Amino acid sequence: VQLQASGGGLVQAGGSLRLSCAASGNMYNRYRMGWFRQAPGKEREFVAIVSRHGTSTRYTDSVKGRFTISRDNAKNTVYLQMNSLKPEDAAVYYCAASRLWSSVSDEFDYWGQGTQVTVSS
């Protein structure tokens, strides 16, 4: 599975962005898909995960109610809709694929290249 993330950019606080992650290769539907983020000087942190068929999701507490993860298996794409963005959401966002229902980065098998999200105050 190869992953290509896109959709990052500069947005004002309170604004919205939608990140996309396009997957190529077979067996995409066998993987849970997640988003992580890493801000400068900080460790990579879990943001959200969606189940193989998109019926279950999980979020880190700091984004609950503001971010929505979804997937379109017909398009081999996973999305992260980010609303009410805050300066502390600024980071490089990575999509990743895992065979497990996990929030631990080491348990993800494939990673995209990252897309930068900048939030101005």
Q: What is residue 28's predicted lDDT score, i.e. its pLDDT?
A: 81
Q: What is residue 94's predicted lDDT score, i.e. its pLDDT?
A: 98
Q: What is residue 1's predicted lDDT score, i.e. its pLDDT?
A: 85
Q: What is residue 48's predicted lDDT score, i.e. its pLDDT?
A: 98
- Over range 7-34, report the average pLDDT: 94
Q: What is residue 118's predicted lDDT score, i.e. its pLDDT?
A: 98
Q: What is the chain written as a DSSP string?
A: -EEEEE--EEEETT--EEEEEEEESTTGGGSEEEEEEE-TTS--EEEEEE-TTSS-EEE-GGGTTTEEEEEETTTTEEEEEE-S--GGG-EEEEEEEESSS---GGG--EE---EEEEEE-
Does residue 26 surpass a pLDDT of 90?
no
Residues 60-105 have pLDDT tens digits of: 999 999 999 999 999 999 999 999 999 999 999 999 999 999 999 9
